[in-house]
C-alpha cells in the first residue's frame, strides 16, 4: 500500500458515538503513536467536536455520504476509515464502495445484516482484488460475542482436545442506554422488513452472512422466556442476538468450519431466579415483541419517536461511566466436556465501551495486521482474533477470562 498521511480517519466524528471515539483517540493516541483525523459532513460541527475534545487543530475533512469524490479523497489519505455514519443502509453504500475500490481498510458499528449482505455481494471481489479489509460490527455488537466464542473455542481445542459443538452466551448483567442513532437504525430495519417478506426470511436466517457455499444445515434454536437449569435462573431473548449470531457463524465459516459444521450458538439475557426472574423474563420477551410490532405500524412508530432518543442523543457521560456488561459463554463439546469463558466491559456497552472497541479495532487494522493478509469481508475474530483481545484487555477495559469448571 502506498504511504498514507493518516493511519485512521474517523468518518462521522460528529455522531453521538463518533464524539466518544474522537475523545478516546485523543486520550489514548494523542502522543502520535497512531496518526488520525476527523471527518464529517459539516465543517462547523467538526470544529465543535475538535474544540470539545481539546484539540482545535486536529485535521478536519468535510465529505457528505453522497459525495463520491470527497469520499475518494478520504480513502487516498488514510490506511483505515472508521465509519459511524448510520443508519448504514441509508448512508453507507458509497463509502464502502470507494474503500473496497481503493484498498482502504474499513471498520464500522453497523448491526444491519441486510446491508452487510448487500455490501458483501456487491464489493467482496473488489475488496479481495484491492486488498481492502472490511470489518463490520466492531462495537458491542458483535465484538464481545465474536471474540468470546473465539477465546472459548481456542481454549476448548487446547484444553479439551476438541471445539465446543454448542455455545450458549448469557448476558449476566448489563447497564447502559440506547442512542437516537441506534434507535434510528433499528426503526429503519423494521420499517424495511415490514413490507418485504424476502428480507424477513433473510433476517431469520442465522447463516445469512456466511459465504453462499457454507456447509451449515443445523437448525438453530430461538430462545424464549424460559429457565436455564445450569444457572438456576430465568432467561429471555437478547436484542443483539439477531446480528451477533450471524457474525459468529460467519467466523466459523471463514475459519474453515473450525467450530464444526454442527456448531450451535445462541444468546439470551438472564433475568434472575424464582418468580421475580420468571416475571421479568416474560415481560421483557413481551416488550421486545411489542416494540418490534409497534415500530412496523406507522402511527405507533410516530408516537414512539416522541419518547425515544433522537439522532445525536444518548446516555450521559455519568451513565456511560457507570455502565458495564458481564457475559458468560457456556460451551459443551461433542463428547460432553464443558468449558466456560466470561467477558466483561467497564463502560456502558453501546457507547462508552463500543467507542473503545471500535477505536482499538481500527488501530489493530492500521498497525497490527500484516500486508500478507488478503482483502475481503472479514469478522473481528477471523481478522484480528487474539491480537484484538490483547488490545482490548490492555487499553479498552474488557476482560476475557477462562472460568474454571465447578
81 binds ligand NAP (CB under 6 A): no
Cell 434454536 belongs to which residue? 221
CB of 117 to ligand NAP, least distance (A): 16
Interface map 289-318 toward ligand NAP (x if CB under 6 A): ----------------------xx-x----
Segment 180 to 199, residues that bind ligand NAP, using CB under 6 A: 180-182, 185
Report angle CA 235, 237, 240 to the nearest 5 degrees: 130
Give me the least distance between CB of 354 and ligand NAP, in Å please: 4
3-state SS string for 62-114:
ECCCCCHHHHHHHHHHEEEEEECCCCHHHHCHHHHHHHHHHCCEEEECCCCHH
- Cβ 378 to ligand NAP, closest distance in Å? 16
**Residue 25 near residue 58 (C-beta atoms within 8 A):** no
- What are φ and ψ of residue 227, in 5° steps? -95, 135
| From 159-167, 208-216, 348-356, 362-370, span contacting ligand NAP (CB under 6 A) | 348-356
Residue number, 228 or 322, with CB nearest to ligand NAP? 322
Going by C-alpha positions, the residue among 15, 371, 343, 345 that lies closest to residue 149 is 343
- Pick the closer one to ligand NAP by CB: 40 or 206: 40
Among 17, 203, 268, 398, binds ligand NAP (CB under 6 A): 17
Residue from the set 29, 55, 59, 91 that interacts with ligand NAP by CB under 6 A: 91
141 in contact with ligand NAP (CB under 6 A): yes
User: For the window 29-68, what string marks contact with ligand NAP as x by the rule CB under 6 A?
Assistant: -----------xxx--x------------------xxx--
- Strand-pairing partners, residue 221, are none
Q: How far is CA 169 from each of CA 9, 101, 240, 248, 404, rounded to the nearest angstrom?
A: 33, 37, 11, 11, 16
Write the DSSP string, 258-278: TT-TT-EEEEEEEEESHHHHH
Contact call for residues 396 and 271 (beta carbons, < 8 A)? no
User: Is there a contact between 134 and 96 (Cβ–Cβ < 8 Å)?
Assistant: yes
Binding to ligand NAP by residue 175, rule CB under 6 A?
Answer: no
Span of 201-209, 249-257, 300-308, 349-357 interacting with ligand NAP by CB under 6 A: 349-357
How many C-beta neighbours within 10 Å does residue 374 have?
A: 11
Which residues in this chain contact ligand NAP in the complex, by CB under 6 A? 12, 14-18, 40-42, 45, 64-66, 84-88, 91, 109, 111, 139-141, 179-182, 185, 311-312, 314, 350-351, 354
Amino acid at each position: 500500500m502506498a504511504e498514507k498521511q493518516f493511519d485512521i480517519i474517523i468518518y462521522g466524528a460528529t455522531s453521538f458515538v463518533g464524539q466518544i471515539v474522537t475523545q478516546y483517540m485523543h486520550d489514548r493516541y494523542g502522543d502520535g503513536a497512531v496518526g488520525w483525523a476527523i471527518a464529517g459532513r459539516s465543517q462547523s460541527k467538526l470544529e465543535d467536536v475538535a474544540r470539545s475534545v481539546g484539540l482545535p487543530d486536529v485535521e478536519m475533512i468535510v465529505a457528505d455520504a453522497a459525495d463520491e469524490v470527497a469520499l475518494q479523497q478520504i480513502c487516498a489519505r488514510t490506511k483505515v476509515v472508521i465509519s459511524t455514519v448510520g443508519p448504514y443502509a441509508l448512508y453507507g453504500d458509497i463509502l464502502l464502495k470507494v474503500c473496497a475500490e481503493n484498498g482502504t481498510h474499513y471498520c464500522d458499528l453497523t448491526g444491519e445484516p441486510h446491508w452487510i449482505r448487500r455490501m458483501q455481494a456487491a464489493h467482496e471481489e473488489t475488496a479481495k482484488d484491492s486488498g481492502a479489509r472490511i470489518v463490520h460490527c466492531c462495537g458491542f455488537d458483535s465484538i464481545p460475542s465474536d471474540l468470546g466464542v473465539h477465546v472459548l473455542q481456542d481454549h476448548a481445542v487446547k484444553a479439551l482436545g476438541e471445539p465446543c459443538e454448542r455455545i450458549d452466551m448469557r448476558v449476566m448483567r448489563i447497564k447502559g442506554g440506547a442512542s437516537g442513532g441506534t434507535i434510528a437504525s433499528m426503526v429503519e430495519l423494521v420499517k424495511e422488513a415490514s413490507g418485504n417478506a424476502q428480507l424477513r426470511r433473510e433476517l431469520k436466517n442465522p447463516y445469512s452472512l456466511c459465504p453462499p457455499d457454507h456447509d451449515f444445515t443445523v437448525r438453530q434454536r430461538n430462545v424464549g422466556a424460559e429457565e436455564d437449569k445450569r444457572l438456576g435462573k430465568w432467561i429471555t431473548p437478547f436484542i443483539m442476538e439477531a446480528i451477533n449470531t450471524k457474525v459468529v457463524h460467519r467466523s466459523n465459516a471463514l475459519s474453515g468450519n473450525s467450530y464444526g459444521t454442527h456448531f450451535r450458538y445462541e444468546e439470551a439475557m438472564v433475568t434472575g431466579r424464582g418468580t421475580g426472574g420468571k416475571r421479568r423474563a416474560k415481560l421483557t420477551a413481551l416488550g421486545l415483541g411489542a416494540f418490534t410490532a409497534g415500530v412496523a405500524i406507522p402511527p405507533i412508530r410516530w408516537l414512539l419517536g416522541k419518547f425515544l432518543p433522537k439522532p445525536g442523543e444518548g446516555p450521559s457521560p455519568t451513565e456511560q461511566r457507570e455502565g458495564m456488561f458481564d457475559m458468560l459463554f457456556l460451551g459443551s463439546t461433542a463428547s460432553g466436556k464443558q468449558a466456560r469463558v466470561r467477558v466483561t466491559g467497564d463502560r456502558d456497552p453501546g457507547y462508552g465501551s463500543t467507542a473503545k472497541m471500535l477505536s482499538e479495532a481500527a488501530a489493530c487494522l492500521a498497525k497490527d495486521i500484516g500486508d500478507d493478509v488478503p482483502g475481503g469481508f472479514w469478522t473481528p475474530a477471523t481478522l484480528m482474533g487474539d491480537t484484538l483481545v490483547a488490545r482490548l484487555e490492555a487499553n479498552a477495559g474488557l476482560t476475557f477470562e477462562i472460568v474454571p469448571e465447578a
